[in-house]
Amino acid sequence: MDALNVKHYMEGIGRAARAASRETAKASTAAKNGALLAMAKAIRDSRDALLVANAADVAEAKANGLEAALIDRLTLTAKGVEKMAQGLEQVAALADPVGEITDLKRRPTGIQVGKMRVPLGVVGIIYEARPNVTADAAALCLKSGNAAILRGGKEAIRCNQAIAACVRAGLRAAGLPETAVQVIETTDRAAVGYLVAMPEFVDVIVPRGGKGLIERISKEARVPVIKHLDGNCHVYVDADADASMALKIIENAKTQRLGTCNTAESVVVARRVAAAQVPAIAKMLMAKGIEIRGCAETLALVPNATAATDEDYYTEYLAATISVKVVADVGEAIEHINKYSSGHTEAIVTENYTHAMRFLREVDSSSVMVNASTRFADGFEYGLGAEIGISTDKFHARGPVGLEGLTSQKWIVLGNGEVRD
């Protein structure tokens, strides 16, 4: 496709999505759930075809020298196909958020004023290698009454198109327009540029991928973007922490998985307990192969640690490295975290009520925890059923974004002929 054709193609996709969004917005819960279950069946029935398409994608990616981590994300297994189908069934089982009326209150004038939850309209999702996002994103957008335009990575194009066919089959089976979920067929990069700059057709963009992708899209976008940036997460060990709980939480938060956004990248310790706890924490982490980069006080307590630079405290390592900082008290811990954190998730370990409440209130991150591992910051763990991403923005949606983040609330007024004085 040349540039003019890409523009024309994307406008066609946009126009069809806008029209479909009017149908999905008023679709019954039964129709939406019927479509999701039919998609799950189509995906199970197409298992072999999906694996063949994916194998072709993987072969080409390998031939092109794609790095191992990306190949890993790209690869779909029979178990992965089953998980995709189950994911669709799980979204079908969630309560329908659309049309929910809340906070209805009678005013002195006689009118009743409340809010009704409604879809955003058309959601554009831009993602990289993982083909399962195609099914997950389609499910969340449809259940929340939106139409979706999906743009996957070019490495996954064959498998994404095969999944798209299953999604369309499900929509058709339920009598919903097939254009309710469209997967962009061109791998031309210009398509993304058009997708994020059509406010007349697209209401919000959700980029899922690396920092580079998200920054580029935020810069180009002419519609709101639900951003998922770094996860530079902290665990603060308070002077009144239970020492064994702190050790257990840090172990889980840092070492359960090194490469996730809710992994802890920094430990902050209150001075009063530093001499007792920093060596124990460092020993546990180093036994698991984690390198320690510490402040001067940490270095005095942990001979094998290296000195942390200011840059270290800002860093999301996504690797076997952690920074350690000793602070005076909970106040300095909050200051340190609010300065260096990316605003994703932070935890305090403490038995002190006032410190816990102060940390909860004053730490300015999308998730703030007391006596729990940062690894819990996740849509499934929070009970959202599924998530489309984790927002590090304060606007609209914050933290794990599920069905609710893909909706808005309008005001409704129920009257009996009232007029204003």
Residues that bind its own copies (CB under 8 A): 22, 25-26, 99, 105, 107, 109, 111, 113, 116, 118, 120-121, 203-204, 224, 242, 245, 248-249, 251-253, 256, 338, 347, 360-362, 364-373, 375-377, 381-383, 394-396, 398-400, 408-420
Give least dist CB 54 to its own copies, A: 28
Q: In terms of Cα–Cα distance, which of 348, 359, 365, 333 is closest to 232?
A: 365
Closer residue to its own copies (CB): 64 or 102? 102
| Greatest C-alpha distance within the chain | 78
Give least dist CB 44 to its own copies, A: 27
Q: By three-state DSSP, how is residue 296 classified?
A: helix
CA–CA distances in Å: residue 323 to residues 188, 229, 239, 285: 41, 20, 19, 11
Give least dist CB 368 to its own copies, A: 5
Q: In terms of Cα–Cα distance, which of 398, 236, 230 is closest to 316?
A: 230
Q: By three-state DSSP, how is residue 2 classified?
A: coil
Give least dist CB 361 to its own copies, A: 6
Strands 101-106 and 112-119: antiparallel
Give least dist CB 218 to its own copies, A: 10
Closer residue to its own copies (CB): 111 or 286? 111
* Cα–Cα dist 268/288, whole Å: 19
Closer residue to its own copies (CB): 57 or 96? 96
Q: In terms of Cα–Cα distance, which of 205, 208, 212, 319 is closest to 255?
A: 319
Give least dist CB 128 to its own copies, A: 24
CB 414 within 8 A of CB 112: yes
Closer residue to its own copies (CB): 113 or 190? 113
Closer residue to its own copies (CB): 90 or 371? 371
Closer residue to its own copies (CB): 65 or 411? 411
Closer residue to its own copies (CB): 168 or 344? 344
Give least dist CB 287 to its own copies, A: 17
Give least dist CB 170 to its own copies, A: 24
CB 295 within 8 A of CB 308: yes
Beta carbons within 8 Å of 166's beta carbon, 6+ residues apart = 39, 42, 43, 46, 50, 135
Beta carbons within 8 Å of 54's beta carbon, 6+ residues apart = 74, 75, 76, 131, 156, 158, 159
Closer residue to its own copies (CB): 48 or 364? 364
